[in-house]
Amino acid sequence: MGKGLDDIPMADFPEILLARHGNNNHKTPVKELYKGAAEGSRNDALARLAGSWVRDGLSLEDCLENARVWNTMNNPPLPEREVEQTVRSIFDKHKRSEAENKDSELVKKYGNPYYFKKHGKVESINEGYWAGYHCARHEEFYEPCEKKFYHYDPTAGLYSPVTPDRIKQEISEYILEHSKDVPGLEKCRSDKNLNAVTNQLRGIAEKTNPFDKTDRHYVHLKNTVLVFDGSGNMKPEPFSPNFYSRNQSPIPFDENARCPRFLNELIKPALKKCDIPLMQKYYGQCLLGHNITQRTLIKDGTAGGGKTTSTAIIQKIVGLENVTQLRTKHLDERFELFRFLGKTLLVGVDVPGNFLSEKGAYVLKGLVGGDLLTTEKKGGNDGFLLHGNFNIIITSNSRLQVRFDGDLAAWKRRLLIVRYELPPPKMKIPDFANILIREEGSGILNWALEGLRMLFDDIRQYGDICLGDSQNQIIDTLMAESDSLKHFLKDCVMLDAELDLSINEVVENYAEYCASQGWNPKPITIIHREVERLMLELFGVSKSHSLMRNGKSAKGFRGVKLKSLQFGTLGTHVFNPLRTGKNMQTEEKYISTKESEKGVPSVPKPINPSGENPDDEIPENLLEHIEI
């Protein structure tokens, strides 16, 4: 009897086919393939490795570099050309597969890319599909407040703005590429269609306030991103679009770098020991890119002491493209705040003493205090909100005076002061800032990063940057000096229904009071502007135009007089009722223990920058001591 097919035993499967089509469970683990492969299995090993690299997101160049290194461990190595061909083939295959998968998902989400007429030619395109197609091929978003598109650059790890025209050109190229297989599609690249696709893309890619770093603590450097955890510890991480960063320091991170010249030739000779950590912490905050202390740093004092040089250095560490000039006189103007868009550090260098008394200076509190400020672009139709979390550094050779406008407490919370009181260096080094950046840039960066870590410690322990008694005293003194006219009136004027006090008498005695405190008096124009409000606030008296002095009418205040006071620094100042009220026959008399022998009253000079006398004429006996 013959045997059936089922009775014949099956031959063994050829080993060569088993090797090629065998059970995947018996494959060598990918990790083992990194050790190299023997002849006959090298191509298969390379294909598997290349596939894993592509899935991990590596570029073609990175895959090729990895393959060349891997090939050196093979025995014998594959020819260089064969390695490159294999890697390119696997890379292209994976990318085509990814594109097909994306296209399939896009069709499900937005519909078919184009619509045909009855005779088979393309009639129109689906704008939503092509907008989604563009978005799928770019790390991008649209910021509706700024009305800008942003694209991610993986080489720098930054998002940079791109114009709508650039977007339209890219979409046109995509449609042209597909038109090779679809007759008539090329003609659908009209400006009208491209505008329609771009408008759809605005909605698809919209992301509101993507650059807000309030709850994200990282520093974007030239070669890495340093991420800080809740304890202030930092960890280097590779660039990623998920950081949503548009500000990068040009300085590379090197944890071993130091900055001896910066510290020993610029910082330590100029500052008191207690002020160095304060500046270090603020410089670290400047690297962070947002103002977690909600304060402005003022550096004032000795001319030539290094204030400008140290400020130029932090600007270069932060990145000059992330810095812009601060102009307080323009801050309340319509378009000024638009200049700050995309910046993290605002700087006012060598400013005059009235810099914080300008009409727009009040906006500074919002720029550092986290307020939402409305601004608009010149030529634009709509305004948008700007988040006030900027770092601000101001340098001045004179002590600044602040225009409070009744908000003293808020100003006190917003200021830090580093005072340069030590003598300037005997020898100046030309272009010192650039020399230090070139020689010690990474070391200065590390110094500032340590300051940031110290700042995080302060906030974790105290809720704010930690200030010593001397630093608080400097702020209190600045507050008092800025409010010196009010202090003078409270300390030196009292109610007396029988007497009166002219504005010129207020000016002269206020000047002496400031000298006794070591303060700079306010300009005469500001005295005349403020005194009427303060006299009404403190004593309930309003300005009169009918006081009599030397047989002439004068402006002043009825029902008040000057007290007799002693000022320790200038000796005894006897305010003999100063020709007020019923004692007009009495002449003013100022006796100074230091100046009486010279016969010259000790009077500092309130300055009127306009050169005008805004109210009364100043008596001749004061003209030689008070600059108008």
**Domains of the chain: which residue ranges?**
7-98, 111-204, 260-478, 483-623
- Report the alpha-carbon distance of residue 55 to residue 49 in Å, rounded: 10
pLDDT value of position 489 = 95
**Residue written as token pair 């061909």:** 85
pLDDT along the chain (628 residues), means of 10: 47 44 60 85 90 87 91 90 92 74 82 82 91 94 93 95 97 91 88 96 94 90 94 92 96 97 95 95 96 96 92 98 96 93 96 92 94 85 85 95 85 94 87 97 98 95 92 91 92 94 94 91 89 94 93 94 62 38 37 35 43 45 40
E strands within 451-551?
Answer: 493-502, 543-549
Q: What is the DSSP letter of 559?
A: E
Q: Classify residue 126 as left (phi > 0), alpha (psi -120 to 50) or beta.
A: beta
Contacts of 526 (CB under 8 A, 6+ apart): 357, 485
pLDDT value of position 565 = 59
E strands within 31-186?
Answer: 114-116, 122-125, 140-143, 148-153, 158-162
How many CA atoms within 13 Å lie on the side-chain side of 55? 6
Is residue 138 within 8 Å of residue 168, measured between CB atoms? no
N- to C-terminal Cα distance for the chain?
Answer: 136
Which residue, among 122, 134, 129, has the nearest Cα to 171 in the 3D structure?
134
pLDDT value of position 454 = 96
Is residue 298 within 8 Å of residue 417, measured between CB atoms? yes
- Report the alpha-carbon distance of residue 610 to residue 623 in Å, rounded: 16
Q: Report residue 187: phi and psi, to 5°.
A: -75, -5
Q: Classify residue 550 as left (phi > 0), alpha (psi -120 to 50) or beta.
A: left
At the topology level of CATH, where does 260-478 sit? Rossmann fold (3.40.50)
pLDDT value of position 101 = 64
pLDDT value of position 583 = 38
Say whether domain 483-623 belongs to CATH 1.10.10.10: yes
